Structure 1
Amino acid sequence: MQLIDDDLDLSAYLQEPEDAHKIRKASDWAEDVINDFWRPKEAPKAGLGFGKTRHDFEIRRGEVTLWAGINGHGKSQFVGQVVLNQLRDGQKVCMASLEMPPLRTMSRMSRQAFGNDRPTPDFVRKFHRWTDGKLWLYDHVGACRTETMIAIIRYAADAFGVDQFVVDNLTKVVDGEDNYNAQKDFVNRLCMVAHDTGVHIHLVAHVRKGKSENDQPGKFDVKGAGSITDLVDNVFIVWRNKAKEEAIRSGDLRHDRNEPDTVLQLEKQRNGETEGDYRFWFHPAALQYLETTSDTAHQLQMNMAEGMAV
């Protein structure tokens, strides 16, 4: 894991490239179209890293995915596990966790990687060595100007060749949930920089609280401008089953413990054919999201030979 300093000179990345919207002949895409039709179902691709979503969703280059959920429902934590899956599968990722310092980010990811709440010192050191050349963190907590965030993404793509970039979250870049024009402008620029660089951008955002946290929200409940979900390519909603948690705490034996702890809702996929819900069970000690009730927390398998290049 490497840090991108907050005082980095980004002047070279603050301007949009002149050839951002260059015109190319249609035949340039022939091989890509053939691959789109004929690539084997089992061919390597970047997915979320879960078996149940393997054939339904692909993290495609140049797209923007919105991860939304009610505050406290675990969306950032879920994205953290997805990032671990990406690193395991050979992707390079940069994270801008604007609500949490790098220490907290890496502590949580170390716990998820270890599969328990007390990762050993040796494991932590090995895990951090393994992330070198795979994972970068933007060393900044708090508000971030739109221009700076766009420049950081361009810099990470150019300097480190990252495949994916996480912006967590929208409210730290655009202040005020009713600042609709600024939100639309920022998300539109995210889509442009994703297209220009080929980086897949993950944007974390909040949804409005409804009458009850027990009601599952949808894409129309995302806080801010309605254009946010229109502009992005994919929309996921992370919902935490707090009714189940409360029933278990209160000893309500009538509650079905086989109900999922978390539901991941794929609400939009512009370039895919699948939408729907995926059920997960949460392991509190490991902070891991498991795919079935019989799954157990697991430790990340690290090939150290792949994790040392910078």
Structure 2
Amino acid sequence: MKPAERKNVLSHLKVREAMRRLTVHLPRDASLEKAARFTIKYKVNALLVTGQDLEPVGVVSKTDLMGAYYAEMPLEAPVESVMMAPPLFCRMEDSLESALESMRTGRVHRLFVLGDDSPEAVGVLANPDIVGLLYRYCHRCEKSIIRSRSAGPDKSFADRFKVAEVMTPSVQAHRRDESLTQVMEGLSAHRLGAVLITDEAGLPVGVLSKTDLIMAYKHGIPTTTRAEAVMHAPVTTCDQEDPLALAVHKMIFSDVYRLFVHRDNPQNIVGVLSLTDAARIRSGSCRACMSSRIQVESAS
């Protein structure tokens, strides 16, 4: 039986327990420059676009802004020219399990949350929010490897997920001398949030994300610019044999959405682990992470 098919900690939790109650929104006539500025300022991957009465009419994501950059659209253009519509919603009392399934079938990474008696969005639920909630439960669990790591892992409990079981076992990479246009084509073709940047020998030297590209767009950097001029370094990695819980811990406290996974040597990158990958497991760290083992009320 696959891990996602087992009873898991998401089975009895509601959207309201994981959602963020701040929704960043813009009017449909706001500029792309303002949208780029807001995604950076508020550290969000998407903005809700609203009409005159604050009713939700669309979503503009980092992917949409990257597309505008690739097309060399002027920053003064309105967000409605690139937004996706309609937005996808859930309700506060929906189960996290059903919300995660809606994201999977809709091929999106977030749902906006509607209030009970209002057409306005009262929050947003994204994969990092779900992983953060799972992490808090895992941290409270008596068998948590995070709580026990100072005294060594619990050898009697060997059914923990390892990074290798959850990661995407392939890596999209671009050379540091390739243009931003080429990198954006790779990101779009493979539906990725970031790519590895390598030197001429194929060794990792940095990472280039959609956030980096949006900052370049906002500052008027030409799309013909070399990737190494915009990338960030060093590459944040983990070993494929690391427990998933420790990898998630590293992402949360390093404020990153993904880790590049190495085998033995940090220069030998063999995969990528994202918060989206972790959310799909529907568990804090192990196959036995069921609601019956956890005090649900403690994280409310």
Query: Normalised by the shorter chain, which TM-score bucket?
Result: under 0.3
Q: Which has the higher contact order (CA 8 A, sep 6+)?
A: 1
Q: What is the TM-score with the length of structure 1 in the denominator? A: 0.24
